[in-house]
Amino acid sequence: MTDPTPEPLPDDQHARVVVIGAGQAGLSVAYHLRRLGLTPGSDLVVLDRAPSTGGAWQFRWEALRLGWAHRVHDLPGMPEMGLRFEDADRSRPARDVVGEYYRRFEQYHGLQVRRPVAVTAVARVDGGLQVATRSADGRTQRIVAEAVVNASGTWGTPFVPWYPGRDTFTGRQVDTTEYRSADEFAGQDVVVVGGGTSAIGFLLELDGVARSTRWFTRRPVVWADGSALDVESAVAAVAEQDRAARAGEVLPSIVSGTGVPVSDRIREGLDHGVLRDEPVFTAMDPDGVVTRNGEHVHADAVIWATGFRADLRHLAPLHLRTEHGGVAVVDGQSVDEPRLFLAGYGPQASTIGANRAGRRTARQVMALLVRD
């Protein structure tokens, strides 16, 4: 017997703007749209599929603390609340701190975020774009908006590359979204794959807990001088993101263009030999991986910290995907569907980039509404 089709919500809705996603990018745009005159809950509808506040941070592993990965920048409306991440308690899990601060932000500014509500499709209709949603209890609704701001991020679409023999490996395989604690790998031989901050964090946490770790990366890790991101490198990386977005290409990794800043914690890991990367293996077999020089490395588990792709599956009805595999976006606006804006995408993907782009995107949206 099949489950009955969920009943739709009593009334479909019309809104001027729908924002999809309540992470940093979505909240930043929503804040500025409210300041520009839109009323949350009616003119402005903010949807979030997550069960709570904090964006992707609410799903990160318990041991992660603020300052261990990329810096979390304050949302644009936080200073007037007297909140700063610089002053946050760094002994608490980062997911708890960010979740609490975002909750207070949403409440203070009255953004009326609806959650958990998943967006299943965005399609063109007379009068604008139709956003189809499904709530946690299975009920569906359609919202027709004059403009849509997509800020769905990447957490829902982790990227796991394929290697010969991957499907024959009998140990445990987890990606970044599935990692919870180093304790789950106590006494095991663990292979970590990926050259970003998540992989580095996993290796440091596994040290002294796992029996052994081996670290494989697709390209050699570039260690940046100092504990903060080099501005010149960051500018170059953002420019490459912008070029790829404009061309409709798959977006490159930010870390690949900036290098990894060496904090005191990372320096300790380097000095103790915990962070020693080697070229990625060529194949997998039932109980491990095979390196480029033919060495067999036993593994009880493989952790894929190999990044993410932009989560744009719900935009499929708009047919925006180019032959190059991406979506063409210029200054945060879709080239092929001007009523759609992509916040936190491409050059806006960093936390500071999402903040700076929030005001500009909101102004672009309001200009579109006036023209229409």
pTM for the full predicted model: 0.86
Which pairs count as long-range contacts for 263-270, CB under 8 Å and 24+ apart, including other chains? Answer: 263/67, 263/68, 263/227, 264/227, 265/68, 265/204, 266/200, 266/204, 266/223, 269/200, 269/203, 269/204, 269/207, 270/223
For 328, the 3-state DSSP assignment is coil
Question: What is the tens place of the pLDDT at every residue in 73-115?
Answer: 899 999 999 999 999 999 999 999 999 999 999 999 999 999 9
Q: Which CATH architecture has domain 166-227+262-304?
A: 3-Layer(bba) Sandwich (3.50)
**Can you give the residue ranges of every domain in the chain?**
13-156+308-371, 166-227+262-304
Half-sphere exposure of 305 (CA within 13 A, CB side): 24
Domain 13-156+308-371 identical in fold to domain 166-227+262-304: yes
Which residues of the chain fall below pLDDT 50? 1-10, 227-233
pLDDT tens-digit map of 267-308:
999 999 999 999 999 999 999 999 999 999 999 999 999 998
Q: What pLDDT does residue 147 have?
A: 98
Q: Which of 87, 147, 154, 156 is nearest to 122 (CA)?
A: 147
pLDDT of res. 264: 87
CA-to-CA separations, 260 to 4, 244, 256, in angstroms, rounded: 51, 22, 9
pLDDT of residue 220: 93
Tokens found for residue 354: 């999402």
Residues 125, 370: Cα–Cα separation, whole Å: 19
C-beta atoms surrounding 103 within 10 Å: 14
Q: Can you give the pLDDT at residue 186?
A: 98
Q: How far apart are CA 70 and CA 237, in angstroms?
A: 15
Check whether domain 13-156+308-371 has CATH 3.40.50.620, yes or no = no
Number of other CB atoms surrounding residue 104 within 10 Å: 14
Residue 268 CB-half CA count within 13 A: 8
